C-alpha cells in the first residue's frame, strides 16, 4: 500500500508538471489553487480528532504541486521575453552551462544561461536557458561568458531551452574561472595528448572520453556510421564529461 501511495504521488506530480509546462499560462493559478487547498487541508487535519490515513500525504502532494506551479510561473516572464525574439537578429551575453560539442552542421553547440539579451547594441538583463550554436572557437568552456550575435529561433513547448540561437559572430568575453578553469585545462590537456596517439585512436579517444569529435576524420565517421557505432561518440562521450 505504501508503494502504491508513493506511485500515485509521483504520477500526480508528473501530471501537474506536464500541464503547467505545456500550458504555462495556468501555472500561477495552479500554484495558488494548490497552495490554498494545502492550507485548508492542513487546518482540517490539525482540527480532526481522528486523523485519516494518507491525509498528510495529500497535504504534501498539494504543496509539491504548488511549488511546481510557482517555479514555472516565476521563470515564464523571462522565457516570454526571449520568445519575442523568434526569427529576429539578436545579440546576447551568455554563460556556458554545458560542455560544447560540434554538431553535424559543423557548429559548436552548447547550453547556456543568458545574462543580457536584445537587438544588436541594445542589451538588457534577461536570465533564461538557451541553446547556442556558433562557429568553433577556443575558450567556450563550461562557466565561460560568450558574446553571441545571430538569428534566434523559438522552440516547442516543453523544451528546456527558451530559444535556439544560430550564431554568426561569437567572442569570449570572460574565460572560465575557478573549478571550471581547472576542468577546462584538464580536458584540453587530455585532448592534446590523445591526438598524439596513432590513428584511429587519436581521433576516436577524445570523442569516447570527453565528447570532442573534432579529430574524427570523415573516413572514420563514415566507418562508424556503417558499423552502427556512431552512438559511442554521439552519446557516450558527451555524457561522460
**16-20, 102-106, 114-118, 125-129: which has the minimum mean pLDDT?**
102-106
pLDDT at 127 over 80: yes
What pLDDT is attached to residue 240?
41
Domain boundaries, the chain: 2-80, 89-175, 180-239
Q: What is the pTM (predicted TM-score) of this model?
A: 0.72
What are the two backbone dihedrals, phi and then psi, of residue 22, each rounded to the nearest 5 degrees?
A: -85, -20
Q: What is the pLDDT of residues 136-178, one digit of tens each?
A: 888 888 899 999 999 999 888 788 899 999 999 999 999 988 8
Give the list of residues 6+ apart from residue 112 with CB closer than 8 angstroms, or none: 94, 95, 96, 97, 98, 129, 130, 131, 132, 146
Query: What confidence tier does 230 reach under pLDDT thresholds 50, 70, 90?
Result: low
Q: How far apart are CA 40 and CA 35, in angstroms?
A: 9
Q: What is the pLDDT of residues 26-59, one digit of tens each?
A: 999 999 999 999 998 888 877 776 666 667 788 8
CATH, domain 89-175, list 3.30.70.890, 3.40.50.300, 2.40.50.140, 3.40.50.700:
2.40.50.140
pLDDT at 237 over 60: no
**89-98, 99-108, 229-238: which has the minimum mean pLDDT?**
229-238
Q: How far apart are CA 22 and CA 31, in angstroms?
A: 15
Q: What is the mean pLDDT of the chain?
A: 83
Query: What confidence tier does 234 reach under pLDDT thresholds 50, 70, 90?
Result: low
Amino acid at each position: 500500500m505504501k508503494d502504491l501511495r508513493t506511485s500515485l504521488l509521483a504520477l500526480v506530480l508528473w501530471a501537474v508538471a506536464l500541464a503547467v509546462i505545456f500550458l504555462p499560462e495556468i501555472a500561477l493559478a495552479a500554484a495558488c489553487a494548490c497552495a490554498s487547498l494545502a492550507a485548508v487541508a492542513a487546518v482540517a487535519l490539525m482540527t480532526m480528532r481522528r486523523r485519516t490515513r494518507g491525509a498528510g500525504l495529500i497535504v504534501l502532494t498539494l504543496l509539491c504541486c504548488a511549488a511546481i506551479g510557482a517555479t514555472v510561473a516565476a521563470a515564464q516572464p523571462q522565457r516570454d521575453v526571449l520568445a519575442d525574439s523568434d526569427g529576429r537578429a539578436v545579440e546576447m551575453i551568455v554563460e556556458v552551462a554545458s560542455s560544447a560539442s560540434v554538431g553535424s552542421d559543423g557548429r559548436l553547440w552548447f547550453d547556456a544561461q543568458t545574462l543580457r539579451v536584445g537587438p544588436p547594441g541594445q542589451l538588457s538583463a534577461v536570465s533564461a536557458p538557451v541553446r547556442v550554436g556558433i562557429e568553433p572557437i577556443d575558450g567556450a568552456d563550461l562557466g565561460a561568458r560568450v558574446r553571441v550575435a545571430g538569428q534566434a529561433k523559438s522552440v516547442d513547448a516543453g523544451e528546456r531551452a527558451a530559444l535556439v540561437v544560430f550564431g554568426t559572430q561569437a567572442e569570449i568575453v570572460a574565460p572560465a574561472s575557478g573549478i571550471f578553469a581547472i576542468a577546462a585545462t584538464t580536458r584540453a590537456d587530455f585532448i592534446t595528448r590523445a591526438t598524439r596517439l596513432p590513428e584511429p585512436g587519436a581521433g576516436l579517444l577524445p570523442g569516447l572520453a570527453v565528447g570532442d569529435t573534432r579529430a574524427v576524420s570523415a573516413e572514420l565517421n563514415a566507418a562508424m556510421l556503417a558499423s552502427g557505432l556512431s552512438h559511442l561518440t554521439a552519446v557516450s562521450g558527451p555524457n561522460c564529461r
